[in-house]
Amino acid sequence: MSIGATMTLDASTLQLGQASALPQSPEEARLDRVPNPHAGTDYLARFTCPEFTSICPVTGQPDFGILVIDYLPGDWLVESKSLKLYLGAFRNHGAFHEDCTVNIGKTLVELLQPKWFRIGGYWYPRGGIPIDVFFQTGEPPKGLWLPDQGVAPYRGR
């Protein structure tokens, strides 16, 4: 996987249901996956992180954005608590918007092996210019209901 994030396959070792400290970096984070109980059914799963933060690698100033993660699960689902902790670990991580967004996408694709995946990173302005970053694994499957990600183009969001 890109930025650290080891995976767990044994349900008895999940972070869910136990105290878990926020990792200090994405490299220290652990993403858990669980079996998809509807692996034979096509449906869209969405996670929205409206308060994503990372650090500018040049200035050290905080960057803020909204992440919207959509995927068509295969055999695996990402466990939401581990995802929350993984995304929270970026608070101390210095990377450009493009790097954060694409690395999160690639890490989740590697972990979950979904039938289809996309992530939208809607970043607040840096130097007066908002940067929006999008990554997906290809065309969405025909017949998959794919709602708009619901984040307006920048106008003071």
pLDDT at 7 over 80: no
**Catalytic residue list contains 63:** yes
Note every long-range contact of 18-23, with CB atoms under 8 Å and residues 24 or more positions apart, other chains counting: 20/81, 20/85, 22/85, 22/88, 22/89, 22/91, 23/85, 23/86, 23/88, 23/89
Report how far apart, in Å, the C-alpha atoms of 34 and of each of 26, 68, 110 are.
20, 20, 14
Between 130 and 71, name the one with better pLDDT. 71
Which of 32, 42, 49, 63 is labelled catalytic?
A: 63
Give the active site residue among 42, 56, 99, 132. 56
Domain spans in the chain, listed from the N-terminal domain onward: 6-15+22-136
Question: pLDDT tens, 37-59?
Answer: 999 999 999 999 999 999 999 99
Helices (H) and strands (E) in the chain, counts: 2, 7
Higher pLDDT, 7 or 139: 139
pLDDT confidence of residue 155 = 72
**Quick one: CATH architecture of 6-15+22-136?**
2-Layer Sandwich (3.30)
Confidence of residue 12 (pLDDT cuts 50, 70, 90): low
Provide Rg for the chain, Cα atoms: 16
Our measurement of the distance from residue 62's CA atom to the centroid of its chain's CA atoms, rounded to an integer in Å, reads 18
Rounded CA-CA distance 120/7 in Å is 23
Token reading at 54: 């990372």
Maximum C-alpha span of the chain = 47
Query: Please, what's the b/e burial string for 141-150 (b: 16 or more CB within 10 A of its CB; e: otherwise)?
Result: eeeeeeeebe
Catalytic annotation on 10? no
Q: What pLDDT, on a 0 to 100 scale, did the predictor assign at position 9?
A: 52
> In the numeric block, which tokens belong to residue 126?
């840096």
Determine contact, residues 100/68, Cβ cutoff 8 Å: no
Q: What is the mean pLDDT of residues 81-103?
A: 96
